[in-house]
Amino acid sequence: MHGHNGLDHKSMLDLYKSFVLPVLTYGIEIFTPNSTLIKQLDLFQRKTIKQILSLPNNAADPCVLILTGLLPIEALYHLKILNFFNNICGQKESSIERQIVVRQLSVKSGKSSSWINCVLPLLVKYDLGDVDDYLQNPLNKSQWRLKVHKTVVNYWKEYIDRIARTYSSLKYMNIQYSPGKFHPLIQVGCSSALEVTRLPTRFRLLTGTYVLQVNRCRFNQYAISAVCPNCKVEDETVEHFLLHCSALEQVRAPVMCRIWNLLESMDLTKQVTSPALLAQTLIDWSIIVPNHPSYRDKMLMLEFHIRRLFFHLHTTRYRLYKELSGN
Ligand SMILES: [Zn+2]
């Protein structure tokens, strides 16, 4: 998708946010789509982001939001419809929209499909108070952000944080969801077109979708062995692939040395006390590296070397594997 001269993931995500998302959700607050359509729009968003990040379709859905800081389409819809409602409340008594809302409130039953009946359940869901309060005292922009925007965004942050913890594939990833912000690893752009080609391996290892022998064995218990085909010493787990496989040691050692030196220069090596923690640090260093501007240059270097390491491990593993199956 990115090609040798393609855009990097960060630029593509910025393009998605600026040009695709506004079209996807255009007018959503007026025509009030049903839940099936919302699910379809959300599916489109997830598939598009997974394609941009070169992730397979089976990647855990919450990782799409955690990596990009995007809100689910349902949350965007709620924000837009509540925002539109507040705008109507702020209009003069003589405005047609306001008169329609007041009329719908007075004559429509709770079961009708009128527009206001899409707003009322949301005021209850997010515990935002009474509809009459908004009609009498509409919020200005800063009050709106402080009350409604914050409440809706926090609701979804808690929801995503909760469900992300249930995905074992995300066990190495920093799953802290910050709506509106890229994940620290996504914030690091690409310094060259060559680096773009290293991203698929990097993101697959980050999201637990890089397929190793243990994953293949899980689905073909009798036909496929979990043992590493290259060194034949132990099961090919993430830790084995990144840290222990002797067949990959030649490509691993020099890059690992650079990575370790960088961690040492940030005084972080004392936190990496076990192979599991080292694997976790390699896959998502944002777990231990403080998100501070003074670390910025070192973070960029660290991510550069980790992308390099993962890519070289991947290509060497694949080459050895092909040589073996050729024999
Ligand atoms: Zn091995």
Find where tokens 């040589």 sit: 323
DSSP, res 149: I
- Helix extents (H) in 148-289: 150-164, 184-187, 193-206, 213-219, 238-239, 249-265, 275-283
Cα of 227 vs centre of ligand 1, distance in Å, is 8
What is the reported pLDDT for 210? 94
Q: Classify 227 as helix, strand or coil.
A: strand
Digitized pLDDT (tens) for each residue of the chain, 327 residues in all: 555 556 888 889 999 999 999 999 999 999 888 999 999 999 999 999 999 999 999 999 999 999 999 999 999 999 999 999 999 999 998 999 999 998 988 886 666 778 988 999 999 999 999 998 899 988 888 898 889 999 999 999 999 999 999 999 999 999 999 999 999 999 898 878 888 889 999 999 999 999 998 888 877 767 788 899 999 999 999 999 999 999 999 999 999 999 999 999 999 999 999 999 999 999 999 999 988 888 889 999 999 999 999 999 999 999 998 888 775
- Enumerate the domain spans of the chain: 1-189, 211-326
Cα of 290 vs centre of ligand 1, distance in Å, is 33
Cα of 318 vs centre of ligand 1, distance in Å, is 12
Cα of 205 vs centre of ligand 1, distance in Å, is 17
3-state helix, strand, coil in the chain (%, to 5): 65, 0, 30
What is the reported pLDDT for 110? 62
Cα of 231 vs centre of ligand 1, distance in Å, is 4
Cα of 195 vs centre of ligand 1, distance in Å, is 26
Cα of 236 vs centre of ligand 1, distance in Å, is 6
Cα of 63 vs centre of ligand 1, distance in Å, is 28
Cα of 317 vs centre of ligand 1, distance in Å, is 9
Question: Positive or negative, the Cα torsion across 229, 231, 235, 237?
Answer: negative
| CA-angle at 211, arms to 205 and 213, nearest 5° | 125
Cα of 240 vs centre of ligand 1, distance in Å, is 6
What is the reported pLDDT for 185? 92
What is the reported pLDDT for 59? 96
Cα of 237 vs centre of ligand 1, distance in Å, is 9
CA dihedral 286, 290, 296, 300 (to 10 degrees): -20
What is the reported pLDDT for 2? 52
Cα of 198 vs centre of ligand 1, distance in Å, is 21
Instruction: Please state, in angstroms and rounded to a whole number, the distance separating the CA atoms of residues 87 and 279.
Output: 50
Cα of 324 vs centre of ligand 1, distance in Å, is 13
Cα of 215 vs centre of ligand 1, distance in Å, is 15
Cα of 271 vs centre of ligand 1, distance in Å, is 26
Residues 6+ apart with CB under 8 A from 176: 66, 161
Spatial contact of 28 and 180, defined as CB atoms under 8 Å apart: no
Residues 6+ apart with CB under 8 A from 37: none
Q: Classify 177 as helix, strand or coil.
A: coil
Cα of 235 vs centre of ligand 1, distance in Å, is 8
Burial of 266 (0-12, 13-18, 19+ CB in 10 A): middle
Cα of 183 vs centre of ligand 1, distance in Å, is 31
Question: Positive or negative, the Cα torsion across 274, 280, 285, 286?
Answer: negative
Cα of 287 vs centre of ligand 1, distance in Å, is 27
Cα of 216 vs centre of ligand 1, distance in Å, is 15
Checking 17-26 for CB contacts under 8 A at 24+ apart, the result is 17/70, 20/48, 21/45, 21/70, 21/76, 24/73, 25/73, 25/76, 25/77, 25/80
What's the pTM value of the predicted model, to 2 decimals?
0.90
Spatial contact of 69 and 183, defined as CB atoms under 8 Å apart: yes
